[in-house]
Amino acid sequence: MHILVVNDDGPPNKRLSPYVRPLVDELQSAGHLVSVAIPAASRSWIGKAHLIEASLTAHSVHPDSFRDDGTWDESYKSTAENEWVVIENGTPASCAQLGLYNLFTDRPPVDLVISGPNHGRNASTIYNLSSGTVGGALEAVFCGKRGIAISFGSKDPQPADIIEAAARLAVRTVEHLWRNWDERVELYNVNVPMRIDVETQPVLYTRTLPYYWSRGCLYAEAGAEAKSKIVNGVTNGVNGVNGVNGAEVKHCNGTHVNGVNGVNGVNGHAEQPKRKERHFKWSADLSDMKKRLQESEEGTDAHTVLNGSTSVTALRANFWHVPDLEGPLDLNQ
């Protein structure tokens, strides 16, 4: 079988992408022809996105030339047939597109696209719809190919024997799904728990756990922490300013101004002009989600992988309409 491997964690990297090389090695050991097209940087939480205003640069890289930080030695000598392709400004979806149509035209047609293994599990609706790993498999479907998204369910550092066991089980699962592909299925989402006995644990069909955000928890305002430490205006003694309640006392035509740098205020609280810019940074607090995953029902992807089994979720690559909502709308009702 000719398998195209894409991912969202980027080049092999001890911190961000420790799983892709072991899976590729295991696929090749099982006798498959493997072509690899991956982003040059992590593209997590990007779904099936394409960066339409960014030009893409494809680098041919021997897998043995990667360093622990994901960079590579450009002077490494190799032959074209064993090189991976690393794509600047690439996303999992664009890697799938280029891998299928542009990069490996001298090889037989691709039979299957594997996206992953993700560094951490992808279980529940929010993860599935946000995941770049699942996005790479979705793109394969829209290119007329079968896709399997694979996630190795831990972001914690793992010993080599556990990673190798997960890779062996993932390959066996891929081969079984390929041989027994249900024609109703367009892609499978597979989550493999990271444990040394994973190959002896069940592999189960599951359904996706529904999850919705209960609060805004993905972004934090930049500088908010520093601002919260300022009490009654300006912190006493900062920049050599000393005054009442931490604010410098100014005199203007005999009038005392309790403010900052002559700005009127009360007890050191300056009247702040309305800000035209506010800055936010990624600051995911997933504690509520993790609690919901821990409480998930038996038969869901989250419950299955958290309890030590491998989950296999069969999916269709569409937002299907709600049945029986048809015909004209009466806007007077």
User: Which pLDDT tens digit goes with each residue over 146-157?
Assistant: 999 999 999 999
How far apart are alpha carbons 170 and 150 in whole angstroms? Answer: 8
pLDDT band at 239 (very low <50, low <70, confident <90, very high): very low
Output the average pLDDT for the chain: 87
How far apart are alpha carbons 37 and 87 in whole angstroms? Answer: 7
Domains and CATH numbers, the chain: 2-213+296-315 (3.40.1210.10), 219-281 (no CATH)
CB 136 within 8 A of CB 128: no
When comparing pLDDT for 193 and 322, which is higher?
193
Residue with the two structure tokens 């929010």: 126
CB 189 within 8 A of CB 137: yes
pLDDT at 323 over 90: no
pLDDT of residue 227: 53
pLDDT of residue 207: 95
pLDDT of residue 324: 85
Q: Report CA 33 to chain centroid distance, whole Å.
A: 26
CB 35 within 8 A of CB 5: yes
CB 45 within 8 A of CB 118: no
pLDDT at 216 over 90: no
How far apart are alpha carbons 247 and 258 in whole angstroms? Answer: 7
CB 26 within 8 A of CB 165: no
Identify residue 114 by its one-letter amino acid code.
I
pLDDT of residue 272: 60
Rounded mean pLDDT, 301-319: 93
pLDDT of residue 225: 56
Rounded mean pLDDT, 86-102: 98
**pTM for the predicted model, two decimal places:** 0.82
Q: What share of the chain is helix, strand, coil (3-state, %, to 5)?
A: 25, 25, 50
pLDDT of residue 195: 97
Q: Which residues pair with 39 in a beta bridge?
A: 87
Q: φ, ψ for residue 113 (rounded to 5)?
A: -110, 125
User: Which pLDDT tens digit goes with each residue over 243-295?
Assistant: 434 444 444 444 444 444 444 444 555 556 667 899 999 998 988 888 989 99
pLDDT of residue 80: 66
Least confident of 153-162, 285-294, 317-326: 317-326
pLDDT at 196 over 70: yes
Rounded mean pLDDT, 87-103: 98
CB 147 within 8 A of CB 115: yes
pLDDT at 16 over 70: yes
How far apart are alpha carbons 238 and 318 in whole angstroms? Answer: 57
User: Which pLDDT tens digit goes with each residue over 27-78?
Assistant: 999 999 999 999 999 999 999 999 999 999 999 999 999 999 999 999 888 7
When comparing pLDDT for 262 and 326, which is higher?
326
